Structure 1
Amino acid sequence: MIENQKIKPDRVIGPLGEPLTLDTLPPRDTRRWVVRRKAEVVAAVNGGLLTIDEVCERYDLTLEEFASWQRAVDRSGMPGLRVTRIQHYRDLYERQQKY
């Protein structure tokens, strides 16, 4: 029975090196997603604090929207999450893949 249960950490390391807990994550009613908040949510999922399903439900996100945040962080780090620069980072990533 115990092997079926997943043990979740009570804290993970955030994108700026700070500890993140469920209490320090962005509020559930967040509507303005700045780079830091997006990166914190991605770090929470990557560290096992929350699942993707939990994040999508908690913040009313689509799977596609969250997946785009994860891809941006994987490819370009926190700067990739900037909405004003998203096309620049996509183009840069595509050029890097060619070489």
Structure 2
Amino acid sequence: MPQIIDTPVQEVDGPNGERLTKDNLPPRDTSRRVARRKAEVVAAVNGGLLSVPEACERYALSLEELVSWQRAVDRDGMPGLRASKVQQNRNKHERANRRVPA
């Protein structure tokens, strides 16, 4: 039976096709979380470059915040991470949840 070797991921494809490594991820102390930087963090986690706990610790994120970024990327790509788009989606979901079934 072949032996499976678990090799850590060294690089992943970024949101714009660039290669991401731990060295060129957004800095830990990033104060402006623009869509591109959020998408890079999501790509790093989804590609196995960072674990979920590592990303949350590195960028001072809650698990819920990271998951919301992943959902936004899955739903709308990088544009889904823009602050205006996040607010639009929040309003849409709040309206949908307020509707009372007939």
Q: TM-score, normalised by structure 1?
A: 0.82
Tell me how large the CA RMSD over aligned residues is: 2.2
Unaligned runs of 5+ in 1: none
Corresponding residue number in structure 2 for 1:17: 17
Corresponding residue number in structure 2 for 1:56: 56
Distance 2:33 2:39 in 1: 10
State the one-letter code of the partner of 1:82: R
Give runs of aligned pairs for residues 1-99 of structure 1, distance below 5 A. 6-89=6-89, 91=92
TM superposition shift of 1:6 = 4.2
TM superposition shift of 1:34 = 0.3
Q: What are the superposed Cα offsets for residues 34-77 of structure 1, whole Å, 9 maximum, x if unpaired?
A: 00000000000010000010000011111111111000001110
Q: TM-score, normalised by structure 2?
A: 0.80
After the TM superposition, which segments of 4 or more aligned residues of structure 1 sit over 3 Å from their partners?
89-92
Identity percentage of aligned residues: 62
TM superposition shift of 1:7 = 2.5
The 10-residue stretch of structure 1 (78-87 or 48-57) with the greater mean CA deviation from structure 2: 78-87
Distance 2:70 2:6 in 1: 22
Unaligned runs of 5+ in 2: 97-102
Q: Which has the larger radius of gyration?
A: 2
SS where residue 23 of structure 2 aligns?
A: coil
**Residues paired across the two proteins, number:** 92
Q: Contact conserved, 1:12 with 1:21, CA < 8 A, in 2?
A: yes
Corresponding residue number in structure 1 for 2:100: none
